[in-house]
Structures are given as structure tokens and as C-alpha cells.
Amino acid sequence: MTAPRSFSAVDVIRTKRDGGRLSDDQIRWFLDAYTRGEVADEQASSLLMAIFWRGLDAGELAVWTEAMIASGERTDLSSLSRPTVDKHSTGGVGDKVSLVLVPLVAACGAAVPQLSGRGLGHTGGTLDKMEAIPGWRALLPPDEMLRVLDSVGGVICAAGPGLAPADRKLYALRDVTGTVESIPLIASSIMSKKIAEGTSALVLDVKVGTGAFMKSEADARLLAETMVRIGEDAGVRTVALLTAMDEPLGRAAGNAVEVTETLDCFAGRGPSDLVEITLALAREMLTLVGISDDPSPALTDGRAGEAFGAIVRAQGGDLSALPTSDDVRVVPAPASGYVSRVDAMAVGMAAWRLGAGRARKEDPVSPIAGVIVEAKAGERVEEGQPLFALHVDDPARVDAALDALHDAVVLAPEPPALRPLVLDRIAV
């Protein structure tokens, strides 16, 4: 049903500014008019700031998300023979889970339409990691995406311009108006794209800790509960896991170095924390679509690795040409002891300063720059033993990266108590 066209943008802004509840028609009209250019950026910015301070109730949020989906296309995956399930992470340092998870779940019989994004600041983007593979294409037309999904069971690609265009415009505004840190706006942004992509089930990996967007478990839990409710209300079976992001996930933070670590997982050499999180998410995804297989054997018996290779080849990539750095700098331990803490934010900033990340969405990234964490929490090091290995693209960036790592590791005489990686499961 088309919303009335008789509203005033100023009246909508005032309603929310003064703590009122936006009507369903007000929301639908505003997002439709903004997407079509009839509402100015400054007016949309004002409404975003009002929402930032006043919030959206559950009913408003459901309609807001629905209107963002309705602003564009909705992918139809009903022609696929496999059940469809996707995963979304709120982002962290060294989070290459999607690269391992998509082919693993595909190898177990599901179809995974993983629409991913690029990194910004200290957090890496899945598309940036995959684009370190020469020839790999992030942009696939809808018909090609369906063919790849049907043939190999998984795809990792960018969302097309027709998917939730209202969100694309609003996200750009939030980034420059200080309104990113709003749980209703974060939740609707993520879920509008995931629902529009057409998947029947979704697992959310909501990170919490020093290297995550959500620093406190309470905030992460609220975001997870909000997104699960949006998904279920839209008919998408949705579960969320709260997972720790106090130190980098795995040992590699960068682009090509994270692809290499992905390949290590398929060869049985994956870091234990990365493997644990990946398998936990895979089990949730398979359960949601009624597949009872244990994903553990498929991770290392060749099936997941073959599926990853098939996905890469289907999107034009050549893993044999994965680039590496000829300039690797080692950061030694200043003393002996047990590593009690590796600051994820510091490692992410170091990788960013080496060139692995971007400050603005249009910035280029280096495929080879990155940081390898040689000693993680709970491990013992001797004085002079490597703590980090910096994979360098531009030597002029090294000093800034070293500054970021200056206090990144805390050493102690005794092994630390480590908190669980999976903190909680959120479902309706």
C-alpha cells in the first residue's frame, strides 16, 4: 500500500524530536521521499539525530526496517534446491570467519548468499580480504549470483545498488553526523539488507569487547535481541551469538594474510579460537535449516576447502597468485612471561596504519599489509621472542604501526584466566 504524500518533513522531525511516536505512514513517506530525493539530506540528518536521542519503539523499528526494504529490490532465492541461510558479523579485528564459514556450510548442504561489506577504520571488511585474491570479483549481477549459489552452494559478494537503497543513503549520513552509535539505526541497517537478500534463516555474530563496535556486553545483548526480533517478525528464522572480541580472532589481521589463515583452517592448521567460533556459527546455521550434520569433519577433510576454491574460481579469483610481502618486520618481547592480554583495537589500528584498512570508504587498501600475532593470551614467551610480525607494503607506514602496538601486549608471571569465546545465545 502506497503511503500518503501529504506529510511535512519538518513535522516528522518535530514529532520525534519532542519524544512522540512516528506513525507507520509518516515513516513510510519519509523514507520513500528521502530515497527519491524529495527530502533533503539536512532534514534526514535531523531525523537521524532525533532518533539517536529519542529512539524507536518496537513497532516503529519494524516499520522503519520494512520501509527500507521496500525502497529497493528483494532477491528471490526460491529457485534454489538447497535451503538458504546467511550469517552477519558486527565486525572485529582478524574476523575472517565468513571466508571459512560460507564454504563450510555450503559443503554441508545449505546455500549461503553472503552479501558482505568493506572495512572502515580498525575493523576489516570481508570484501577487502577476498579482493586480495587476484581476479576475484565482488560485484555479481543477480542472475550470476543465483547461478553460483546453485552450482557451488555459496557466494561472497557485494550488495547490488538496488538492495535497500534507503539504507545506503542513510548510512552515509550517519557516518558524517555522529549518529552511527544508535541501536535502532544499526539494527535496521543490518537487517534491512539481510532480509532483502532473500535468505530464509540468519545467524548473527554480535561481537563484544575492546576490538568490537559494542564494548559492553549489555549493549551487545540489546543489539542482538533487537535484530533477532526484527528478523523473526519478518519471517526470517534468526539466532544471535554474543562472541568475545577482546583480542584479534585468529592470528592474522589484514587482507591476504587473512586469506592465508583461511586456507590454514582447511588444512587443519587453523587457530583454535577461529575454528571454535566458526564451528559454533556453522552448527547454528545448519540447525536453522534442518541439517543435522556435524560440520567439524567437513572443515578439514577437504570438502570445505574444495567449496572455497569453487567459490573463488566462480568469481574469477586465482588463489595460486595470492600476494605476499617481501618485507616482514618482527616486534620482539621486551621480557619473558605469559601473555595476559593482546589488545584487539591496537592490532587493528596497526594493520590499518600499515595500509590494510581505510579512513574513508573511497580509500584504497593494500592487499599485502597486515599484522600476525605471534603470541596470544595464555601463551608463554621468552625475552626477544616474536610478539608480532608486520607484513609491510609501504616502509613509511611502519613507525605509525609500531606506535599503535607499543602497549598492545601485557605480560604476566602467571597464565591468565581466559573468558569463553561464545558468551551467550540469543533467540526468541
Catalytic residue among 86, 128, 167, 264: 167
> Which three three-digit cell numbers place residue 210?
575492546
Question: What number of CA atoms fall less than 13 Å from residue 393's CA on the CB side?
Answer: 22
- Report which DSSP code applies to 35: H
* Phi/psi of residue 330, nearest 5 degrees: -100, 135
Cα 307 to the center of its chain, rounded Å? 21
- The answer to whether the Cα torsion of 184, 171, 41, 35 is positive or negative is negative
Closest Cα to residue 183, out of 291, 55, 76? 55
Q: Does 391 participate in catalysis according to the annotation?
A: no
Q: Does 174 participate in catalysis according to the annotation?
A: yes
For residues 217 and 243, give the distance between their C-alpha atoms in angstroms, rounded to a whole number. Answer: 9
Q: Does 193 participate in catalysis according to the annotation?
A: yes
Are residues 59 and 196 in contact, defined by beta-carbon separation less than 8 angstroms?
no
Catalytic residue among 193, 207, 237, 251: 193
Are residues 52 and 179 in contact, defined by beta-carbon separation less than 8 angstroms?
yes
The H or E element that residue 113 is part of is strand 112-116
The H or E element that residue 241 is part of is strand 237-244
Are residues 288 and 203 in contact, defined by beta-carbon separation less than 8 angstroms?
yes
Cα distances (Å, whole numbers) of residue 244 to 94, 285, 328, 419: 12, 19, 29, 8
The H or E element that residue 370 is part of is strand 370-373
Q: Does 88 participate in catalysis according to the annotation?
A: yes
Q: Provide the residue count of the chain.
A: 428
Cell 539481510 locates to 194
For residues 252 and 325, give the distance between their C-alpha atoms in angstroms, rounded to a whole number. Answer: 14
For residues 302 and 25, give the distance between their C-alpha atoms in angstroms, rounded to a whole number. Answer: 53
Catalytic residue among 16, 28, 87, 88: 88
Q: Does 167 participate in catalysis according to the annotation?
A: yes
Residues 332-342 as b/e (b if ≥16 CB within 10 A, e otherwise) read ebeeebbbbbb
Catalytic residue among 71, 189, 200, 366: 189
Catalytic residue among 174, 251, 283, 397: 174
Q: Report the chain's C-alpha Rg in angstroms.
A: 22
For residues 238 and 195, give the distance between their C-alpha atoms in angstroms, rounded to a whole number. Answer: 11
* Residues 6+ positions from 399 with CB-CB distance below 8 Å: none
Cα angle 350, 355, 356 (rounded to 5 degrees) comes to: 80
Are residues 96 and 252 in contact, defined by beta-carbon separation less than 8 angstroms?
yes
Catalytic residues: 88, 167, 174, 189, 193
